[in-house]
Structure 1
């Protein structure tokens, strides 16, 4: 497994209400996608980005970060071999990713995700 990118997942009460601060004030004005409960915003100047998450629609908890990998099945197998708690099972999501959530030994929940090829 190789890490491709890392995206901070910011917990917010309402994605729409939070947009003003993150998109307008901070300049993360490019909305890459929005599902209502999650939206990714990116700086048009630097490519820096983050995701706003109100309540994950298909998982029991919100992650603190999303780690994109090149082989999500290998990542899951290694997490299981190491005895890490899988909080959300390997799932192919309707929005074009396959992912699972793993709890780090420090308690943080990590979204390990692979983008589907188009």
Structure 2
């Protein structure tokens, strides 16, 4: 058996917030819309990964999702322009990433990162 895909699912009663945050700020495309369930993504090839931790590194809280981007400065600017509070960072971490934390509209802690 081979795992083909892992998807994170978040409960929401407000799909417009999803569109604005994950579509608008992060630029993900809506791949599927059943009305009651929407999936966002991109055509990038990604590795299947699931992480577990007792902390998020540098004594931070364990994030609910880690989202790797190709341009952290642009991502930071988009979140700041949208008025999203930056909870941690941006910071260069000793394990080779630059990152910052934000909450999504549903309270999920997101680790936005770029490998250095």
Provide the TM-score with structure 2 as the length reference: 0.56
Residue 114 of structure 1 pairs with residue 92 of structure 2: no
Distance, in Å, in 1 between the alignment partners of 2:55 and 2:61 is 8
Structure 1 residues without counterparts, runs of 5 or longer: 1-5, 9-46
1:59–1:88 contact (8 Å) kept in structure 2: no
Q: How does 1:45-60 map to 2 (within 5 A)?
A: 47-58=47-58, 60=60
Distance, in Å, in 2 between the alignment partners of 1:112 and 1:59 is 16
Distance, in Å, in 1 between the alignment partners of 2:86 and 2:73 is 13
Distance, in Å, in 2 between the alignment partners of 1:90 and 1:59 is 15
Partner residue in 1 for 2:63? 63
Cα 1:105/1:51, change in 2 over 3 Å:
same
Structure 2 residues without counterparts, runs of 5 or longer: 1-5, 9-46
- 1:3-29 superposed Cα distances (whole Å, 9 cap, x missing partner): xxx997xxxxxxxxxxxxxxxxxxxxx
Distance, in Å, in 1 between the alignment partners of 2:77 and 2:108 is 19
Structure 1 residue runs of 4+, over 4 Å off? none
Partner residue in 1 for 2:83? 83
Distance, in Å, in 2 between the alignment partners of 1:48 and 1:103 is 23
Provide the TM-score with structure 1 as the length reference: 0.56
CA RMSD of aligned residues (A): 2.1
- 1:13-70 superposed Cα distances (whole Å, 9 cap, x missing partner): xxxxxxxxxxxxxxxxxxxxxxxxxxxxxxxxxx522111111232542210100000
Say how many residue pairs are matched: 73
Partner residue in 2 for 1:22? none
